[in-house]
Every structure is written in C-alpha cells, then in structure tokens.
Amino acid sequence: MNRYVYYGYPQAYPSFPTPPYYRNEDLQRRESLVLPKNMMYTTIVEPKFTEHLTKHIGMKIVVTTIVGKLIGTLDNVFIDHIALAVDGKLHHVRLSEIVYFEKAEEK
C-alpha cells in the first residue's frame, strides 16, 4: 500500500535528528595554549630625561608623579623605570608616571 504523505504532516519528518554528514559551517580550530615565540615589547624612551636622572644617582631627590610626591635617594635608573629608596624601602616608579623631579633640599 502506498501512503500519501502531505507536506507538513508529522509522519513526513523523522522523530530523531539525522546525523550531519555534510557540514556547511566551519569547524572550530583547536589551538594549543602556548605563548607566541615572536613577542615584542615596546616602551616610550625619553633619552634626555633619562640622562638627567642618571646624573642624580645617589642623591636625594623629590619625584612628583601623577599620584603624588616621593622623597628619597635615587638608587638606579632603568630604561622604563627608576628605583627610589624611601625610608629604607625600594620603590620602582615608571618613567611614564613621573611629571618632574628636583633635587631635595638638605635641612
């Protein structure tokens, strides 16, 4: 016997999903969680400002940052920050955060 199947009739569709033999969407690539080997870091370098700071190594200076003032002995100058000894503690201050510095007054 031939059964007539009408469009929209429930028997015309299977009750279970058919396996997707052909996929139109792209499969997600599984990437390994590895750090890239060719990573490059950049920093803003101000050579004249750094040169003026290196002339004051070992001296007591006042460093004014965007947050406030620090008074201490300049321990070292690096490419992106300075090391300032304040009351026996070493503070590392980024050069980009420094507004200006001056020699501290001796009392």
The residue ranges of the chain whose pLDDT is under 50 are: none
Residue 45: how many CB atoms within 10 A of its CB?
10
- pLDDT tens-digit map of 52-79: 999 999 999 999 999 999 999 999 999 9
Report the sign of the C-alpha dihedral through residues 40, 43, 46, 49, in that order: negative
Task: For the chain, list the domains and their CATH numbers.
Answer: 47-103 (2.30.30.100)
**75, 71, 80, 41: which is closest to 57 by C-alpha?**
75
* Whole-number Å distance between alpha carbons of 41 and 78: 15
| Average pLDDT value for the chain | 81
